Amino acid sequence: MQLQASTDLTCLSGRHAGQPSRPLRDRSLGAVPWAFAILVLGCLLLVGTVTASQAQPQGRAVLADAGMVVSASAPASQVGADVLRDGGNAVDAAVAVALALAVTWPEAGNLGGGGFMLVCPPDGRPPICVDYRETAPAAATADMYAPDESTLTHRAVGVPGTVRGLAVAHAQYGRLSWARLVQPAEQLARHGFLVDHHLAASIHGVLERKETQSDERFAELRRVFEPPDGQRWAAGQRLVQPDLAETLQRLADGGPGAFYSGLTAELIEAEMVRGGGLITRADLASYEARLRDAIQGQYRQYEIVGPPPPSSGGIAVVQALNILETFDLSSQSRFSVRNLHLIAEAQRRAFRDRALHLGDPDFVPIPTHLIDKQYARELAASIQVDRATPSLELAEPFEMVEESPETTHFSIIDADGLAVANTYTLEASWGSRIVVTGAGFVLNNEMGDFNWVPGRTDQQGRIGTPPNVIAPRKRMLSSMTPMIVKQDDRVLLITGSPGGRTIISTVLQMVLNVVEFQMDLPTAVAAPRQHHAWFPDRFDLERGQDAVYGEAIAGLEDLGHVVRQTRQQGSAHSIWVDPQSGVYVGVADERRGGAAVGVHSAED
């Protein structure tokens, strides 16, 4: 794959209302040192052509040679780039970015949630996944919820894992001190930052919901995020969070354990008591993040690295790629009826196995055949190229849980090639909407990702299987899919996305767009996305892409697919590494905003 001559070199960060701690060094080719400029121009002369069936680039590429950070927030991306400039590595930057996003993107960036960090060392050491998924409190039981019970309650909060997970990653790989990595987030919270229009819309959206305005559970959310003029948030206004700044200062002074004991833990427990939640200081003190072996697969000549259970993403993407590898996809255009059909059928089968088999590996056995090539050939043989397989023919449906699309992902690579893909969440947008009184951060509502009604059959799309039944200290199943693709043992692509179960589909298609259809990164990120989750038996296509799909929609319906056009899917903040030059290309997905910030080896 080659860089296109039309690629815009303007840094995305310059278009967002934030307050970086120092001027950006990659706003244009003129700001890049001459040696690097020659290298970039050499890459750009190797022009790749986009076929008529491919979407034209929307997000703008940022190029650099000594590091790249791409996240949902310009100030957070700048924090990560500054860490790299100060001698930190990609894991140091990931810790700092994750903490900064808790300040600058509070609908999903968090201290009160959990997620997965995929780390791929450049020195031959195996990739590792830091599993910091939330756990059920010790007092949780399998039947503790009514089927229609709200998840916007204290009872829906799982034990947060984010701080412990970041600490484990830092202890394993970090260079800079923990306090140095916490300090930028603390300063952003204490002195404030300028809100962009994405964050303004997010805050306004949650505050204007009827239940948020009327329910006492959300009084602290209203107080902390009340707009400065008493009306509504707008881009350019400053958001200051003094309670969160004090929480972060305790983390800087006392280390990551200060979240799980001491004043912060006391404030969390008091919040639980206030609202009838289950988490105690004993739950917090006993929480552990896990270092797990990454899921590894092979797609043609590419190595695929993803997260293991309790994330379902690594296994589901590798299985779908194994199925698709048996077909000659590149003989037709990316959005041909045949290719869209085959991708949907691979998704249908991967999501079926996800629902049947996957859960917390500390509680349930995970079958080893799911990513086996022979098993994939058997699944591929069940696909008919001229007919959509009704999902009921694969297996009867069973109770499923919905996953919120409000998560956030960031991608980072440093000068040495150490790569990090991190996806973490509060579950729903703004989680439970419960802010810990006096601590300033939002709590998750991840207990909703368990199976609330064991054994109930439902064709409407709620999935929760025996492996995902609630148990004390168990991790709930997740679709978060931070992913790294390697070629010749070198990192080629770092990607991931928010989007609930659609995360798996978005990441699968990002991999296919780059390695199968040879799209450049802006085109791969901008390309329309599709999703089939087995149940409901429906093929979702991103709305507003009629020029790309052409007559494909009618063709899919002729094959028996139930096609629905949906709103935007995911937000794939990604990095591609040019195999010839080693240049890092970062693209922030404009579907939800964000920023890519590069680091150069010879900055002024």
Q: Which residues are catalytic?
A: 407
| N-terminal to C-terminal alpha carbon distance within the chain | 31
- Which residue pairs, CB below 8 angstroms and at least 24 apart, start in 275-279? 275/153, 275/154, 275/217, 275/434, 276/153, 276/154, 276/155, 277/137, 277/153, 277/154, 277/155, 277/157, 278/137, 278/138, 278/139, 278/140, 278/154, 278/155, 278/157, 279/137, 279/157, 279/159
Q: What DSSP character marks residue 512?
A: I
Strands 290-293 and 128-132: antiparallel
Residue type at 296 in one-letter notation:
Q
Strands 539-542 and 563-566: parallel
3-state secondary structure 462-480: CECCHHHECCCCCECCECC
Torsion, Cα of 493, 9, 573, 496 (10° steps): -10
Q: Which two tokens stand for residue 82?
A: 């500054």
Q: Which two tokens stand for residue 434?
A: 């419960």
Residue type at 138 in one-letter notation:
A
Please give the backbone phi and psi of residue 99, each rounded to the nearest 5 degrees, phi first: -70, -40
Q: Residue 374 burial (CB < 10 Å; 0-12/13-18/19+)?
A: exposed
Per DSSP, the three-state class of 269 is helix
Cβ contacts of 171 within 8 Å, gap of 6 or more? none
Distance of CA 292 to the CA centre of its chain: 18
CA dist 138 and 486 (Å) reads 40
Q: What DSSP character marks residue 307?
A: P
Please give the backbone phi and psi of residue 273, each rounded to the nearest 5 degrees, phi first: -60, -40
Q: What DSSP character marks residue 64?
A: E
How many C-beta atoms lie closer than 10 Å to residue 427's C-beta?
A: 30
Per DSSP, the three-state class of 546 is helix
What is the crossing angle of helices 74-85 and 178-191, to 10°?
150
Which residue in this structure is represented by tokens 């427990």?
269
